[in-house]
Structure formats: structure tokens, C-alpha cells
Chains A and B, each alone.
Chain A
Amino acid sequence: MTDFVLARPGKSRRPDLLAYAALSLISAFCAVPFFWVLLASLDGNAQLFLSWPREWTLNNYVRVFAEEDGARWVFNSLFVVGSATLLVMVLAGLGGYALSRTRAWWKQPFLYAILLIRVLPPTALVVPLYKILLTLNNIEGNLVRIFFGGDTARAIMRWIGFIDGYLGLILVLATMQLPLALWIMKTFFDGLPRDYEEAAVMDGATMLQRIRRVLIPLALPGLAAAGLFAFISAWGDFLLPLILLSSPELQTLPLGLFRAFLRVNTIDYGFLAALAFIYLMPAVIAFGFARRFLVQTFSGGVKG
């Protein structure tokens, strides 16, 4: 009897240790690139191969902002991805609610059809997408030029143009993220009993009061999850800004990184590493927030 009791913890400890060892190995494997980038970005003389910095310096970071247009790139990235995320949250919130509550026959076909947007490789869509956006852009540009002078028109188109303008990129990025966000919100609202809204109706709440005081607070975990997913995914997108943007003033962080890498003669690893580290920070921070909501959203929604 005693043997049996003693044997059990021993038996379960060895697999535990193995599991911890394996997990530590995998964690280290995942963490090494981050560590590498951080180390290289602080190295005054960074090389292609990882080495312990002989001189520690923040000079690489300073150069990103002083010599290059780093602040501009950060703003562009944050503005474009932030706007796309906001758009996704609003549309996914409203659309997800509608898709969850409707009994229309096209609901299932529609839900699967929008997944196609997500499944098709964006690279395959680049040519037709560019063609459509270019046509729209030309029409829009002509209209803007009629009402404003040439220089003003160019400045305006930088914001609302479909090609080489913020709006076009924002719309395309939002489109790419919307299907998943719609699915997340639809599933979230499925788990939200209608009773909440009906109780509010019985209490005399108008449609707006129901949305503001009942639905939005209840949907917040889902919205946050959908928004953070959209943000993280759009933040990492490289292809679309590369194709849709050409003005240096509109350049986003990944483009800045890419072009810095392509510069002739010297590859400045310290500079690249600093830029890369700046680029990955928002995604890591966003993921930190997302974890909480992900658990809430994907483990059964609201418990009342």
C-alpha cells in the first residue's frame, strides 16, 4: 500500500520533467530570434552572426528617428493599421450581430463565402485588385482635381486615394481582416442569450439604449479579441503596402525595413535590428492584451 502511494508521484514526476524540458526547449527556440534582434540593435558594430556586443549603444535607435524618417513610418503604420482595425471592429460588431440573429437562408453560404477572402492567397489577387483600385483612383483623382488645384488635389489624394493613399490601404487591409472578425463576433453573439435584449425591451430601452448600455458592454470581450486579431494580422502585412504605396511619405514600418535592407553597398545590421525591434513591439504589446480576451471569448463567452 505504502509502495503504491510512494510510486505514484515518482511515476508522474518524470513525464512532468520531460514535458518541462521539451517546453523550455521550444520556448528558447522561439525566443532566440527576439533576443538576437534586441542584442544586435544595441550593438555598436553588429554583424550577420550573433555575438555579444563589445560596445553597448542606443545609437541605432537614434539613427532610426534622426537620420531616417522613422517617426513618420511608425505614424503611418499605426494610423493605417489602427484605422483598419477600428473599421473592422465596427463592421464586425454590427455584421456579427446581424449574422447571429438572422434566420435568413443565405446565412451559412454567406459565412463560408466570406472565408474565401481569407483563404485565397493575397498574392493571387494582387493584379485584379490593383486594376480595380487604379480605376477607382483615377476617377476619384479627376474629380478631386476638378474641385481643387493640382497641388491641393495631390495632398488630398494622399489621404483619400485608392492607390498611393491612406484610404485605399486601410480599406484593403480591413477587407482582409473582416471575415475572421465577422466569424468571431457571430460566434460570440450566438453565445449571448437573447434574454438580455428582451429584458432591456421589457424595461423600456430604445434601440440605441439597448446597443449602448447592454450590447456593447456585453460584446466588449469579443470586440476586443476581433480587433486585436485584426491589428496583429494587419500589422504584419507587407505585400499590400508594398504594392499600394509608392510615396516615401506614406511608407510604413515594414516597407522602411525592407528598403533599408535593399540599400546598396552596406547592410547596416545594427540599424536593421533596431528598426525590426521597433516594428515588433506593437504586435507583442497587442498580443499581451489579446491573451486575456482570447481566453474569455473562446472559452464560452459571458457567464452571468
Chain B
Amino acid sequence: MINLRNVRKFYGALEVIKGVDITVEDGEFAVFVGPSGCGKSTLLRMIAGLEGIDDGDLILNGKRINDVPPDKRGIAMVFQSYALYPHMTVAENIGFSLSLKKVPIAEINRQVGEVAEILQLTDYLDRRPAALSGGQRQRVAIGRAIIKKPSLILFDEPLSNLDSALRVQMRAELQRLHRELKATVVYVTHDQVEAMTMADRIVVLNKGIVAQSGHPMDLYHSPDNEFVATFIGSPKMNILPVMLSRPEAGKLRLENAMGLSISLADGDASVATGEAKLGIRPEHLKVSQDGQGDFSAEVVIVERLGVETYLAVGSPKDPIVVRAEGDLSIRPGDRVSLTVDLSACHLFDSNGRVIRRPQTL
């Protein structure tokens, strides 16, 4: 189990990690995700020991390891560039950490053989990295990590160098490996699809703080803030500026410039009225052409994929994206009516914090 408690990092006067608390349980596949510059790679390098920790505690299996050198932490890391030594064979690359420890050659060969078996690299042990495909290099990099029998494996955007087909395949392979090895994994990516498909726990980072942490579906269904709401899910959640008013006790009215007007039963009188934001995912808007709906808008772009259709409606600059099942024969310029699925939409205050509503609407 790895524990980060109020961890901070400064580059000069610039604070890049602003007091982060994260817990990853044994055997968990945790994914740190966020836009570039959010501090996710820095955080990973701090766990690895490649960057110092300026404040807070890093605790691995109950032991504070802030000042333990990287190779003594029992942590292995797979680098984005794989960092395979071009002058060594696959076997030498995988066995490098053992040969540094002066392990007898026969023992190194045995262990390298075992690892190669798991990773299906047995036929390639005598090759140089340059003679391998992208996926094979990736597996060698993983082999170099798991031969150390680490209690934690770190991955720094490991799939970003692969083409999209291989990425899907490697995603499945990494999940299989994780199940077989029962290893604890911390995985950094900027790709929310990777995060959603592989993670037991997602940690969304934004500007050096944890925006939200939890199971992918928790983040999808109940985001804590506008940032997480728009970051998780693809296409991203629509955010509509709305005015909140309370025409009578127990009722909340939402209105916006597009003619949207919804009444909510509001059990909690503490919700402040005024400017707010309504978050609706593209899949939670229902399209119809019969004029019956919460509001109507003009279609700007139509993307027909056969199994589903994406519509961009409203203003061309900042359109609302709608996902509809099946193939719809709607053309740009048509006017459509949209119905909001009230049970699935989210309300945020003007600062982007979610307004939790105690009862379903």
C-alpha cells in the first residue's frame, strides 16, 4: 500500500505539487490522469525517487521512504521512451539490475528466462532493442521492471509511443499482466480512455492538486467538480450556463438563454440561487424533431457513425454535443428539440464545485 500525505514540490518559488493526499491499496491499478502540466509525471517521479519531496510524507507499506534512494525503495518504473539500452541484448536489458547486484550469471539467466516466458519474449532474448517492434520493446521495458519483484510498478505514459491499434492491444495485455502478477501499479497518462478502461482507481490531477480520486464509474456518475466532469467521458460533458431561481419553497428553476427552462424539486433549501452551470453528458440529451422538449436548437454539425450519431447544436463557436443511438437522418440547419435526462445531469456553482442534491430529481 502506498500513501501520499500532503506531498508538496517546488521548482524555485513555483509550487507544482500543492499538497496531495493519495492512497493506493495493495494490488490496485491506480491511474494518475490529467492535462499536461498538471503534475502527474512529477508526482510519479517523486514516488520513484527521481525527484525530491519538499514537504509531506511518502509511505510505502508503512515505511516513510522520502529519503530512501530510488533503488532501495522496491519500486520499478517503466519509462515513456522505454529507455532500453541499445548496446545490450533483450536478455541483458532485462537482467541489468541483477548483474549490477553481482547475481551469479546462471541465476540471472534463470530469472530472465522466467520473465521472458511471462512476457512471450523467449524467442527474442538475443536481439537488440533496435530489432524489435514497438510492442515488443514495451514488453522488454516491463520485463526489466518486474524482474526486480517490486512492491510497486510505475508506468509513465507507456502507450503514448504506440499506434492506436497496438495501444488497444497493449491495454488488454497490461490488464492481463496486472491480474497475473497481482502487482500494485501506478500508471500515468493524459488519456482518459486509458484511465477509464484500466484503472481500479483514477486520480484526476489538475494544477498540482487532486481534483477527485475514486473508481472510474464514481468519477463518471458523480464528479466532484466541473473539471472532473468535463475531463472524464468522451465526448466531454456539455456545460451550460444557467440562472437558478427559487420561485417557491421546495422548487428550483433553471433557465438559460437558449430557452431552456426546467423545474426541479429541491429538498435542500441551502442551494444558493443565481448563476450556476448545468452539466449534461452528450448521451443524456434526447433528440426529437416533434417540437416536444426542454429546449430547441439549430443543428450545426452532424457526424453519422452508423451505430450512433453525434450532433453539434446551438452556436457554432460553442456548440452543445448530443449523442443519439442509431443513424439519424438529420442535416445541418435542421431544428431539433432536446430533452434533458434530469436524473443524470449535474449542477455546479459558479466556482465549478458540484451542487449535490439530496434527492433524485
Instruction: Please report A residues at the B interface, Cβ cutoff 8 Å.
Output: 193, 195-196, 198-205, 209, 213-214, 217-218, 302-304
**B76 CB–A CB distance under 8 Å:** yes
Report yes or no: A303 in contact with B86, Cβ–Cβ below 8 A: yes
Is the C-beta of B177 less than 8 angstroms from some C-beta in chain A?
no
On chain A, the residues within 8 Å of B84 by CB distance are: 304
Cα of A198 to Cα of B77 in the assembled complex, Å: 10
Q: Given the complex, which residues of B lie within 8 Å of A218, measured CB to CB?
A: 85-87
Distance A304 CA – B84 CA, assembled complex (angstroms): 7
**With contact pairs A198-B50, A302-B86, A304-B86 given, residues A203 and B100 touching in the complex (Cβ less than 8 Å):** yes
A203 touches B144 (CB 8 A): yes
Write the residues of chain B forming the contact surface with A, with a CB cutoff of 8 angstroms.
48-50, 70-72, 75-77, 79-87, 96-97, 100-101, 129-130, 144, 148
* A202 with B130: CB separation less than 8 A: no
B100 touches A198 (CB 8 A): no
Cα(A217)–Cα(B101), bound, Å: 20
| Docked CA distance A304–B85 (Å) | 7
The residue that A203 contacts in the complex, of B50, B82, B96, B129, with Cβ under 8 A, is B96
What are 17 A-B contacts defined by CB distance under 8 Å? A193-B81, A195-B79, A195-B80, A198-B79, A201-B70, A201-B71, A202-B70, A203-B97, A203-B148, A204-B71, A204-B100, A205-B71, A209-B100, A217-B85, A218-B87, A304-B84, A304-B86
Is chain A's interface secondary structure helix, strand, loop, or mixed overall? helix
For the complex formed, measure the closest distance between the CB of A191 and the CB atoms of chain B, giving whole angstroms: 12
With A201-B71, A304-B129 as contacts: A195 and B100 at CB distance below 8 Å: no
Q: Which of A193, A200, A204, A218 has the most CB of B within 10 A?
A: A204
Minimal beta-carbon separation of B188 from chain A (angstroms): 14
CB distance from B153 to the nearest CB of A (A): 11
What is the CB-to-nearest-CB distance from B282 to chain A, in angstroms, rounded to a whole number? 38
Contact A199 B130 (CB under 8 A): no
Nearest A residue to B141 via CB reads A199
Contact A204 B101 (CB under 8 A): yes
- A204 & B86 in contact (Cβ 8 Å cutoff): no
Cα(A138)–Cα(B220), bound, Å: 82
Tell me, rounded to whole Å, the shortest Cβ–Cβ distance linking A304 to chain B: 4
Q: Which residues of B contact A214 (CB under 8 A)?
A: 85
Q: Give chain B residues whose Cβ lies under 8 Å from the Cβ of A304.
A: 81-86, 129-130
**A198, B83: Cβ atoms closer than 8 Å:** yes
* Residue pair A199, B86 in contact (C-beta under 8 Å): no
Residues of A within 8 A of B101 (CB): 204
Question: What chain A residues lie within 8 Å of B76 (beta carbons)?
Answer: 202
Q: Please indicate which of the listed interface residues A203, A204, A205, A213 has the most CB atoms of chain B within 10 Å of its own CB.
A: A203
Residues of A contacting B49 in the complex (Cβ-Cβ under 8 angstroms): 202
Which chain B residues border A217 with CB–CB below 8 Å?
A: 85, 87
Closest to B154 in A: A202
Task: Output the least CB separation between B152 and chain A (Å).
Answer: 12
A196 near B85: Cβ-Cβ < 8 Å: yes
B339 CB, min distance to chain A CBs, angstroms: 51
Q: When the two chains form the complex, which single residue of A195, A205, A209, A213 contacts B83, counting CB atoms closer than 8 Å?
A: A195
Q: Which residue of B lies closest to A201 (CB)?
A: B70
> Are A202 and B77 in touch, CB under 8 angstroms?
yes
Q: Which residues of the partner chain A approach B72 to less than 8 Å between Cβ atoms?
A: 204
Other CB < 8 Å A-B pairs besides A199-B83, A203-B96, 6 of them?
A193-B81, A195-B82, A198-B50, A200-B96, A202-B76, A304-B86
User: Which residue of chain A is the closest to B71 with respect to CB atoms?
Assistant: A204
Residues of chain B within 8 A of A205, CB atoms compared: 71, 100
How far is A43 from B134 in the complex, measured between Cα atoms in Å?
A: 61
CB of A303 within 8 A of CB of B130, answer yes
